[in-house]
Amino acid sequence: MASSQKSSKTLKLIVFDLDFTLWPYWADCHIQSPYRIASNEKIIDSAGNIVECYPDVPEVLADLHKKGYILGVASRCPDREGCRQLLNLFGFNKYLKYIEIHDCHKFQHFEKIKKSSGVDFSEMMFFDDDKNNIRDISSMGVVSILVREGITKQVVDDGIRQFHKRCSVQ
């Protein structure tokens, strides 16, 4: 990838948190599984509330997938099955190669993704709304971006630019 003597990392794998990153809820708290598609084709939770992701998310995931990035999620939500169900109903499963949903420290999610994918932390990016997760996963060498109001095209584009800026120096 590097055209000069400077080394340059390639961005290979992008990992997203779920709650308040891909959708505006804590999926074990604000909404409740099981989820299903209602007759009006909206996704609803067990109480009949409509469940939506942040508006840019479907296009962002489709676009990143199309560009050849490997995609994954790392979530600490205790309702693992509910989250998997939502990812499936939103149609995101087809883009996500690694789905790590465990109520443990996110170090472990990333260790698992690294082991399964063979991709080094320096060639991964992470988006999450939690400052502590950003601090911790940054310390592993993953370029980690704090998401303030959910994933948008702008947040991801800016994040990828930051990755290349940080990783083209050495």
Tell me whether residue 17 is one of the annotated catalytic residues.
Answer: yes
Tell me whether residue 19 is one of the annotated catalytic residues.
Answer: yes
Q: How far apart are CA 82 and CA 161, in angstroms?
A: 33
Task: Using CB under 5 A, pick the residue from 14, 15, 17, 134 that binds Mg ion.
Answer: 17
Q: How far apart are CA 20 and CA 159, in angstroms?
A: 17
Integer-rounded Cα radius of gyration of the chain: 16
Task: Using CB under 5 A, pick the residue from 19, 45, 79, 136 that binds Mg ion.
Answer: 19
Q: How far apart are CA 50 and CA 45, in angstroms?
A: 7
User: Which of the following is catalytic: 17, 79, 128, 136?
Assistant: 17
Q: Could you give the string, one character per residue 79-108, with x where binding to Mg ion holds by CB under 5 A and - elsewhere? A: ------------------------------
Single out the segment in contact with Mg ion by CB under 5 A; choices: 61-69, 78-86, 108-116, 127-135. Answer: 127-135
Least distance between Mg ion and beta carbon 18 (Å): 6
Single out the segment in contact with Mg ion by CB under 5 A; choices: 10-18, 51-59, 100-108, 146-154. Answer: 10-18
CA angle, 72 then 95 then 163, to 5°: 50
Q: Coil, helix or strand for 5?
A: coil
**Interaction of residue 20 with Mg ion, rule CB under 5 A:** yes
Of the two residues 27 and 124, which places its CB atom closer to Mg ion in the complex? Answer: 27
Q: How far apart are CA 86 and CA 83, in angstroms?
A: 5
Dihedral, 55, 30, 94, 39 alpha carbons, nearest 10: -80
User: Which of the following is catalytic: 19, 45, 79, 136?
Assistant: 19
Residues with a catalytic annotation lie at: 17, 19
Contacts with Mg ion, residue ranges (CB under 5 A): 17, 19-20, 129
